[in-house]
Structure 1
Amino acid sequence: MPVRILVINDDESILDLFRMLLEGEGYEVVASVETMENIGDVERIKPDLVILDLKMGVQQEGWTMMQKLRMYPPTKAIPIILCTAALNEVREQESVLEDKGIPVVYKPFDVDEILHAIHSVLPDSDKKASSKKKA
């Protein structure tokens, strides 16, 4: 079973880049241009990881979604990576995020940064992804 990554970002071109990058690494990608109001939708997708943009539109919907994911028992253990350009907003919360094991990758990022973050929260993901590439 490939590792399933849910990527939520309001920029379609960024989603396309994530899809190309992560599928090229052997991951299964589910992409969404908006946060999911019904957190049960995330539960049904059954992602192994959520990569979440902090600012979506004019709101910081990513914060709200991250809180919902952590408060809802079926999704609270799913690893989250914040991927954002909102440097100042996140700097204030960085130590809290670190304590909760939520890495932050700042845009613009390079491929190695995002892959390192994925491997840090899903240590076995490189094995699963590479075994799929060989198949």
Structure 2
Amino acid sequence: MKKILIVDDDESIQLLYQEEFKDEGYQVAAALNGEDALELFRQSPPDLVILDIQMPGLNGIEVLRQMKMINPAVPVVISSAYNEYKQDLGAWASDEYVVKSSDISELKMTVRRLLG
């Protein structure tokens, strides 16, 4: 069973993603901030990460950089409410960039494609 790590400081988004991806047959872990995400990433490496950008403490771009240094093979999908971050050079290290929406079908399709 493929494991997804969801990193988002919005608990309602986190719960939505957890439920949706568990229903799709994935094992799901979650973190509310970048520091906890990096610890989970090191201790129990996921097969894919869904990462928010705007978070307290370490922002998503910094978390992305550190994750790619630890294990560049793990795909990271940035899921942000802000489309303008697509232009941020730091976001280019992600494997995909999906703008948050109440309809998460694009995110689900992206995850399925990246996990094969």
Residue of structure 2 in register with 1:62 after alignment: 60
Residue of structure 1 in register with 2:2 after alignment: 3
Secondary structure (helix, strand or coil) at the match of 2:54 reads coil
- RMSD value, Cα: 2.2
Residue of structure 2 in register with 1:126 after alignment: none
Native 8 Å contact 2:78 2:94 kept in 1: no
TM-score, normalised relative to structure 2: 0.87
Structure 2 unaligned blocks of 5 or more = none
% identical aligned pairs: 27
Native 8 Å contact 2:7 2:37 kept in 1: no
- Which of 99, 103, 116 is 2:109 aligned to? 116
Shift of 1:52: 0.3
TM-score, normalised relative to structure 1: 0.75
Distance 2:6 2:62 in 1: 16
Residue of structure 1 in register with 2:17 after alignment: 18
Distance 1:9 1:51 in 2: 8
Q: Count matched residues.
A: 116
Distance 1:101 1:65 in 2: 11
Shift of 1:37: 6.2
